[in-house]
Structure 1
Amino acid sequence: MKSFLSDQRGIAAVEMAIGMLLLVPLLLVLVEATKALTEYSQLQNASMEGARMLARQNGDTSGVNDYVQSLFQKADGTSTVDGEAPTVNITPRDSQNNVTVQVEHAFKPYFANASDAQGNPNPFNIMGSTPLTLSSKTVMALPAAN
C-alpha cells in the first residue's frame, strides 16, 4: 500500500490535462481578439482615408463610398473581411465645416459562431445571439465653404 501512495507515474499527464483546460480557451480568446483588432484597424484606416478624400475634394462626396469599399478588396478581387462588405455612412459638410465618415462591419468570429454551416445553434457560443458590430468614425474639418 505504501508503494502505491508514493508512485509518481502519470502525475505529469494529469497536470497537463488540468493545465490545458485553462490554456486552450485562453488561446482561442487570443486568436479571436487578434482577428477583431485587425478588422477594427482596417475599418479605422478606411474611415480616415475616406475623410481625407473628402477633404481633398472640399466636401464633395462623389466617389468616396466606392473608394472606401475598394480598400477592403485584395488584388485578386476577394474581400479582406469575412461576411458582407462593410457599410459606409458619409455625413456631408455640417454647419461647422466638418465631414464625417463612419465604417461599420458585423464581426464574424472563427470559433464562437452562433450557428454552424447548416444553421444549427452552436452550444459553445460565447458571444450570445447578438452579433458584434465593429465601427470606426472619423470627423475631419474642411476649409470654409465658398
Structure 2
Amino acid sequence: MRKRDDSRRGLAAVEFALMLPFMALLLFTLVEGAGAMHAYSSVVQASREGARMALMDGTASDIEALVQAVTQGLKSEAVTTSVTADSASNTVTVEVSYAYHPFIQNALELLTSQASLELVAQTTMPLP
C-alpha cells in the first residue's frame, strides 16, 4: 500500500489559482469575439440587402429603413448608412457602419485608447 505524500497536498488548488486568470481571459476573449463577429455579420448582411434594394429602384429612405430592420439586434443609434450612386460607372454603393462597444466598457479603451470599434461593410453592385 502507498503512503500519502503530505507535501503535495493542496497542489491542485495552487495550480487552479495560477491558471484561473488565463482561463478567464480566454473565456472573455471568446465571448467578446463572438459578439463582434455577430455584429459584423449583421452589418455585412444589411449592406448586401441595401444594395439589392437599390437595384430594385428603392429610395435612400427605403434602404435606410431596410438596414435598420436587418440590424435590429444592434443599437440603432450606432448604425449609419450611406448610399452612393456613380453614374460614370453605373454602380450603386451601400456602406453600413456600426460603432461596436464591447461588453466591458473600458476593455477596448485600455487596449486601443478608443471607446468603440468601427465595423464597416460596403457593397457595390452594377445598375441595370
For 1:128-143, list aligned pairs within 5 A: 128-143=113-128
Closer, same or farther: CA 133–93 of 1 in aligned 2, 3 Å: same
The structure richer in helix per residue is 2
Note the residue ranges of structure 1 that are not aligned, 5 or more in a row: 74-79, 115-121
Distance in 1 between the 2:59 and 2:74 partners?
27
What is residue 102 of structure 2 aligned with on the other side?
109
Q: CA deviation at 1:91?
A: 0.3
TM-score w.r.t. the length of structure 1 is: 0.75
What is residue 67 of structure 2 aligned with on the other side?
68
What is residue 49 of structure 1 aligned with on the other side?
49
What is residue 119 of structure 1 aligned with on the other side?
none
The structure richer in strand per residue is 2
What is residue 16 of structure 1 aligned with on the other side?
16
TM-score w.r.t. the length of structure 2 is: 0.84
Closer, same or farther: CA 94–130 of 1 in aligned 2, 3 Å: farther
Q: Tell me which moved more, 90-99 or 59-68.
A: 59-68
1:93-123 Cα shifts (integer Å, max 9, x gaps): 4311110000011101112x13xxxxxxx7x
AA of the residue aligned to 2:85: P
**For this pair of structures, how many residues does the alignment match?**
123
What RMSD over aligned residues (CA atoms) do the two structures have, in Å? Answer: 2.2
1:33-81 Cα shifts (integer Å, max 9, x gaps): 1000000000000000000001122x754521122112223xxxxxx11
Secondary structure of the equivalent of 2:32?
A: helix
Distance in 2 between the 1:22 and 1:137 partners?
37
List, as ranges, runs of 4+ consecutive aligned residues in structure 1 with deviation greater than 6 Å. Answer: none
AA of the residue aligned to 2:120: S
